[in-house]
Structure 1
């Protein structure tokens, strides 16, 4: 009996390891991803950023550009075109009394001087180099023949102004514009205005309703 038990034990010991090894089933162990020490990005909509409208508007070249110059009077509003035509007609006819009628068609007298005056036609005669007012009428005709600008649109100061030099940077004038300008003034006038920094010769201002606001010279 002891021999038989010893033989069994010996036989077990002689069996291959593969025949006695127990199969072990393994399951994967889930591993949590390593968290980064860096904070997650904040969504853009949660950032306290200023609205686009709060940003200061950048100055554009259009803000610095000289005003648009016009020559075609057929594009003027009818009341403005009518006043322009009546003044030019009186000037070209050399008729100061006809001009008086145009001036008096205003609800309020237009500005002809930066100081107080009496009779407007007497004042124009006194201001004219020839003493009769014809020089002033010639200046008025040339002024109304020049290009014009439409300024302060949509405001109480909206105006159509002749010549456009009155609202145009004199330093930006091109050669052809200077020739146009010298049809109205002399080189001496221009030198004085360059030094002053603005147009000080005669100009005409007509409101969009056809009201003549001024035919005046000075600063």
Structure 2
């Protein structure tokens, strides 16, 4: 018998801004990440990172050693090597509209909405908001469609932080 190659259909909501519509665990994690960003110290992200049983992913396909310190990983991804860029990006991403992504029975929330529902910025303010979500190292390269590589954060409906990486 052949294994099934069926994949769950993915549905993506329209962009939403009202954080009160988020499930309570998602809202709580978002608040913890934003509070960490307010400190200006990358070390403060350790608390929301460690809320998970499994650490969120910060790079696609990275070959970091098991047990690598996530804060050191974030510092290495930050242009300033101290993590200030990462804190700024996390704040910028989480203050944008978000989408609900359903794949079979799994539901998650992703910021910013335009990483999944790309539309050209309607005005200068939207353009600045989009570019505020791009790492300095990713300003020149673009994705397969020619759009900037926007950082995105994905959180399961249960409040588990799954990833914080660019949309590539």
TM-score calculated relative to the size of structure 1: 0.61
Deviations 1:161-186 (A, max 9, x none): 001121013xx324234343133338
Structure scoring higher RCO (CA < 8 A, sep ≥ 6) equals: 2
Give 1:135 deviation, angstroms.
1.0
Counterpart Cα distance in 2 of 1:154 and 1:146: 26
Which of structures 1 and 2 has the bigger CA Rg?
1
Contact 2:141 2:148 in 1 (8 A): no
For 1:116, the equivalent position in structure 2 comes to 63
Counterpart Cα distance in 1 of 2:166 and 2:121: 24
Matched, 1:214 2:163: yes
Give 1:90 deviation, angstroms.
0.3
For 2:4, the equivalent position in structure 1 comes to none
**More helix per residue: 1 or 2?**
1
Indicate which of 18, 28, 34 corresponds to 1:88.
34
For 1:52, the equivalent position in structure 2 comes to none
RMSD: 2.4
Counterpart Cα distance in 2 of 1:73 and 1:189: 28
Give 1:126 deviation, angstroms.
1.2
For 1:203, the equivalent position in structure 2 comes to 152
Q: What SS does the corresponding residue of 2:55 show, helix, strand or coil?
A: coil
Contact 1:165 1:199 in 2 (8 A): no
**More strand per residue: 1 or 2?**
2
Indicate which of 67, 72, 85 corresponds to 1:135.
85
Counterpart Cα distance in 1 of 2:85 and 2:138: 16
Could you tell me which runs of 5 or more consecutive residues in structure 2 were left unpaired when the two chains were aligned: 1-11
Matched pairs, number: 149
| CA gap 1:184/1:121 in 2 versus in 1, 3 angstroms | same
Give 1:123 deviation, angstroms.
1.0
